Structure 1
């Protein structure tokens, strides 16, 4: 599979390369799937039903890739900034407010509302006792009810080793197997949001 160029006038986001990855698809990192091809497939999964946003984010990813030294490229760390608040989150593990806000924003793409278990998720007493890992588990359970999965990836293994940060994205639950295979192929340590890293 050849690397995709989002700027190519012949690039067609509806062609076979860009088609939605099926949950039973086999991904072999030793085969012709390039890292860029796998990143594109990942962007399709975390932007379900929105190829236009996936394409915009892929173009931004390619820009970031072009500015990076080849031996320093870790796709998930380039994606982190590209998808933040659009198709993913990256927040301090103690910042409950930012986590609730970003998950609310992401879920709103499908007109979903997360029930955090309280009448007012902005209540100071609630937020004082909340932490991101526990909120992530709540969001995971609520999203599963609607057919979506919340994922989290390990931020401790990156160039800056941000152990205090929490990061992840949302996909359709029907794509769970494909998401796990893609993460493995891209060397992303990924877990369901019900089992956060920290």
Structure 2
């Protein structure tokens, strides 16, 4: 496994605006993936490292600039530090977001006693669930992000709210249309 250069310290890359951000050509797609993995695994560099290794394995020695990075990244983070589910799978979405929040000892108040109840799941949309989770996580200093999949799936991850600017810089550089889930 090869880690990107030390120049890509996550504490140093986000003080500039998007126009001043390092381009994919200058930084390299793998370096940008590494930075994003550090951001979506706050305080858990070991998890970021495992996911980066899986990303590199999936590349099979190829160049990250030659693949559809969002879809490859989706596969290595799914149900670990991210989610990708059909928007009709509201129960699975609740389970996955609960699992992501539990990594940081957080719990989501879904506004009902039993969020796995079929009546509740049938009456709520993925968008409503994402907004609820986003609002709850913001209270604890986290942001729930979604990214445009171009399908009927919802996908995203959570980060520290302090890393919002990092996501705004890294995501477009990787070809990911990310936005806060509550917006």
Note if 1:142 corresponds to 2:136: yes
Q: How much has 1:27 moved relative to structure 2?
A: 2.2
Which position in structure 1 is the counterpart of 2:90?
96
**Aligned partner of residue 50 in structure 2, secondary structure:** helix
Q: How much has 1:77 moved relative to structure 2?
A: 0.6
Q: How much has 1:75 moved relative to structure 2?
A: 1.0
Q: How much has 1:82 moved relative to structure 2?
A: 0.3
Note if 1:130 corresponds to 2:124: yes
**TM-score normalized by structure 1?**
0.83
4+ runs deviating over 3 angstroms: 15-23, 67-72
CA contact (8 A) 1:29 1:185 kept: yes
CA contact (8 A) 2:87 2:152 kept: yes
Unmatched segments (≥5 aa) in structure 1: 157-162
**Aligned partner of residue 109 in structure 2, secondary structure:** coil
Which position in structure 2 is the counterpart of 1:106?
100
- Give the distance between the partners of 1:21 and 1:144, measured in 2 at CA: 24
Q: How much has 1:5 moved relative to structure 2?
A: 0.4
Which position in structure 1 is the counterpart of 2:154?
166
Which position in structure 2 is the counterpart of 1:159?
none
- Give the distance between the partners of 1:100 and 1:42, measured in 2 at CA: 23
**TM-score normalized by structure 2?**
0.89
- Give the distance between the partners of 2:46 and 2:109, measured in 1 at CA: 29
- Give the distance between the partners of 2:12 and 2:143, measured in 1 at CA: 16
Unmatched segments (≥5 aa) in structure 2: none
Q: 1:146 to 1:71 in 2, by over 3 A?
A: closer
Number of residue equivalences: 180
Q: 1:55 to 1:168 in 2, by over 3 A?
A: same
Q: CA RMSD in A?
A: 2.3
CA contact (8 A) 2:29 2:65 kept: no
Note if 1:153 corresponds to 2:153: no
Give the number of the structure whose residues are more often helix, by fraction.
Answer: 2
Which position in structure 2 is the counterpart of 1:55?
49
